[in-house]
Each structure stands twice: as structure tokens, then as C-alpha cells.
Amino acid sequence: MNSLKKIVERPQFETFVLTVIFLNSITLGLETSQEIMANHGHTLHFLDRLFMIFFSIEIILKIIIYKHRFFKDPWNIFDFLIVGSSAFPSAGSISILRALRALRALRMISIIPTLKKVVSSLLSSIPGLGAITGIVCLLFYVGAVISTRLFSANFPEWFGNIGKSLYSLFQIMTLESWSMGIVRPIMEKHPLAWAFFIPFILVTTFTFLNLMVAVMVNAMDSDSGETENKTRQNDKEEIIEEIRLLREELKELKIEKRIKEKRGKYSPPPGMNP
């Protein structure tokens, strides 16, 4: 079991798994081509089965090695769900679940440390992003109420009700045809409409999106600082352990020296039996 654990935890094994995931991602992309499937469909299906068998064996080996500790790691659970979701048969009412095979490519996140770090930072920034999202939703609701009252009579297709107004404001926030498509036609009947839309864009598009980016960057910096602190703590513990071992070795050397000195002091002269 220990030898199997050493094999699974080797960097070479992770590199091999990453290579298999990369190759599987390529074959999944090739399967979307009707021409390629017509000529090489059987080969691609065969390779897909081999990849599925390999991923299943990998997960089973890790479960055997780590047992219940396997499910304590969120990344192991992520891998387990990805592999499990792609194990459904391709026929019948659940054929749509076979499309989840493409999720296997996401396993690169759990293997490549830099990608794992980015995802962990995004997850840690969720509380801050939640607060910003709440403010944006509140602004959207207020803007939808105001725009519905101002423009629903002349432009019911965009601002006829709260739902349409929310969707139109979302389109404006993304800057997708906001000027020529929506605002300029409105300004032909409401010349001062710019006084509502431009501040809305400045607040939602630029201010709050930049705040979201700042929160995520801050979360990544915090995670980097925590990682550095952990590394320093581990280095400190290693140094302390080495010092302790050196002290024990020095102590043993002193004891051996004293024993040798005592033996030399009480040893009989040459030519005499003890």
C-alpha cells in the first residue's frame, strides 16, 4: 500500500494524468466534427473508453489509498464528480449527460497548482463579491423602476415592465449597442435621457466591475500571503527540528567521549592482564 501511495503521489504520475486529460480534451473536441466522426468515429469512441477506464482506475486507487480521507479534500470530490458524471450511457433519455464528458478537461484545475490557486482565490472572494452584487442588484431594481415610469409609454418593447427594463439595463451595462440601439432612439423623444443612462453606465459598468476585480485581486494577494506564511512556518519548523537533531547528536558525542575517557583512565598498563 505504501509503494502504491508513493507511485500515486509522484510528480511524474501527476504529469502523466495531466497528459491524459489533455489528450482526452483533444479527442472530445474532435468528436464534435461530423466529418472526423464519419471517418474515425470508432477510433475516437475506443480512445474515449480507454480514457474513462484510466480515470476510473485513478479515482479507485486514490480511494483505496486514502480511504475516508479522500473525500475530505474538495479537489478529490471535484475529480470524483467529474469522472462520475461522464460515466452515464450515451443512449436513452440521459444522453444529454454524455455532454458532461467535456467536464473532464476541468480536471486540469485540480492538478495544475497555478489554476488551483486562481480558483481558490475566486472562491475566497465570494463574500466580498456577494456584497457588491447585492448593491448592483439594488441599483438595477431602482433603475428599472425609474426607467419603466419614464420610458414605458413610448418604448414598451424595452421598458414596458420591470422585467423588460431589467434586461434592457443589463444590455446597457454590458455596452452592447447601448448608444445606437437604445439610448439614441430614446433621446429622439426624451432629449434628457442621457442624464439617466450615462450615470447608470458609469456606476454599474466601470465603478462596480472595477470593485469586483479589486476584490478578486485582493483575495489572490491574501491567499499568496497565507501561502508564504505557511511556507515560512514550515521552514521554521524544519530548522527547529534540525537544531534539535544536532543537539541530540552533540549530546551523544559528548557521552561517547566521556565513556572513552573513562575507559582510557582505568585501562591497565601494557603487558598486564586486567
**What are the structural domains of the chain?**
2-111 (1.20.120.350), 113-266 (1.10.287.70)
Cell of 21: 486529460
Percent of residues, the chain, with pLDDT higher than 70: 85
pLDDT in the model for residue 252? 81
Quick one: pLDDT band at residue 94, thresholds 50, 70, 90? very low
Instruction: Give the highest mean pLDDT range of 45-49, 96-100, 213-217, 265-269.
Output: 45-49
- The CA dihedral of 150, 152, 154, 157, to the nearest 10 degrees, is 140
Quick one: pLDDT band at residue 17, thresholds 50, 70, 90? confident
Does pLDDT of 266 surpass 60? no
Three-class DSSP labels, the chain: CHHHHHHHCCHHHHHHHHHHHHHHHHHHHHCCCHHHHHHHHHHHHHHHHHHHHHHHHHHHHHHHHHHHHHHHCHHHHHHHHHHHHCCCCCCCCCHHHHHHHHHHHHHHHHHCHHHHHHHHHHHHCHHHHHHHHHHHHHHHHHHHHHHHHHHCCCCHHHHCCHHHHHHHHHHHHCCCCHHHHHHHHHHHHCHHHHHHHHHHHHHHHHHHHHHHHHHHHHHHHHHHHHHHHHHHHHHHHHHHHHHHHHHHHHHHHHHHHHHHHHHHHHCCCCCCCC
Residue-wise pLDDT tens digits, 184-238 = 999 999 999 999 999 999 988 888 878 888 887 887 777 665 666 666 777 777 8
Percent of residues, the chain, with pLDDT higher than 90: 22
* pLDDT average, residue stretch 244-265: 76
pTM over 0.75: no
Instruction: Give the highest mean pLDDT range of 5-14, 136-145, 241-250.
Output: 136-145
Cell of 57: 482506475
Does pLDDT of 66 surpass 70? yes
Residue-wise pLDDT tens digits, 134-166 = 888 999 999 999 999 999 999 999 999 999 999
